[in-house]
């Protein structure tokens, strides 16, 4: 892709417009979801030097939309398993340069652990009695949350067997309470996942949490032009 004379003129006029508002570098972001069309969330440009946003106008907005469509195939071809990417269009109004930066969403997970003594929790009495009777030393229960939804799996896996959380009085409520106490909002936004482990030999119930956070990282520059 090369900039046309008309596109260069639009960018030059916009640079003068932006500098009139004290903006030296501004950016415009276009979002891409796997299998979808590019999405534009508004007509405002971000001040890269920390000032207020700058509202666009028809000609520059239409040019940003054109760039979004022009780079769609390249973005989609380089999108990773996260299924989400952004085209970050940086306009240097002083140096008269436009840069197209490809960004991908990266998920990072932080591990945390919480533990309580079984003998201090009356709500575990029914499952502890069942495990002792069947000579089960450990029981594990998984959970998962994200996007404002979450659940604790109803399956319990013992050392040599399997059962259901719902079969044991007060167990489900206790697990949800423990999870909420350890990580309020465990099911919100990026969410979390992990396991509860009831260990009769250690006399503990352990909660292993994987707490997710996502951020955008640059995956390279697709193009850079002077205008």
Question: Is residue 153 classed as helix, strand or coil in its secondary structure?
Answer: coil
Quick: pLDDT tens for 37-95. Answer: 899 999 999 999 999 999 999 999 999 999 999 999 988 888 877 789 999 999 999 99
The predicted structure's pLDDT at residue 94: 98
Count Cβ atoms below 10 Å from residue 173 Cβ, excluding itself. 10
Secondary structure of residue 19 in the 3-state scheme: helix
Yes or no: say if 172 and 178 are a contact pair by the CB < 8 Å rule: no
Question: Please, are residues 89 and 29 in contact by the beta-carbon 8 Å criterion?
Answer: yes
pTM score, whole prediction = 0.69
* φ, ψ (nearest 5 deg) of residue 180: -65, -35
Beta-bridge partner residues of 212: 109
Burial of 200 (0-12, 13-18, 19+ CB in 10 A): middle
What percent of the chain shows pLDDT beyond 90? Answer: 85
Residue 71 per-residue DSSP state: T
């Amino acid at each position: 892709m090369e900039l046309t004379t008309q596109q260069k003129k639009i960018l030059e006029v916009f640079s003068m417009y932006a500098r009139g508002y004290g903006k030296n570098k501004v950016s415009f972001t276009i979002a891409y979801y796997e299998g979808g069309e590019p999405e534009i969330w508004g007509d405002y440009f971000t001040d890269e030097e920390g000032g207020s946003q700058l509202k666009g106008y028809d000609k520059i907005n239409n040019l940003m939309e054109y760039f979004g469509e022009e780079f769609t195939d390249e973005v989609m071809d380089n999108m990773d398993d996260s299924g989400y990417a952004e085209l970050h269009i940086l306009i240097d109004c002083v140096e008269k340069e436009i840069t197209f930066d490809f960004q991908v969403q990266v998920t990072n997970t932080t591990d945390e652990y919480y533990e309580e003594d079984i003998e201090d929790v009356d709500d575990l009495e029914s499952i502890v009695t069942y495990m002792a009777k069947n000579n089960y030393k450990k029981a594990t229960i998984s959970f998962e949350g994200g996007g404002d939804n979450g659940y604790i799996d109803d399956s319990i896996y013992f050392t040599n067997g399997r059962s259901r959380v719902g079969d044991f009085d007060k167990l489900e409520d206790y697990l949800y309470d423990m999870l909420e106490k350890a990580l309020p909002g465990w099911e919100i936004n990026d969410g979390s996942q992990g396991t509860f482990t009831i260990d009769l030999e250690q006399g503990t119930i352990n909660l292993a949490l994987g707490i997710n956070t996502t951020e955008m990282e640059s995956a390279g520059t697709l193009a850079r032009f002077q205008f």
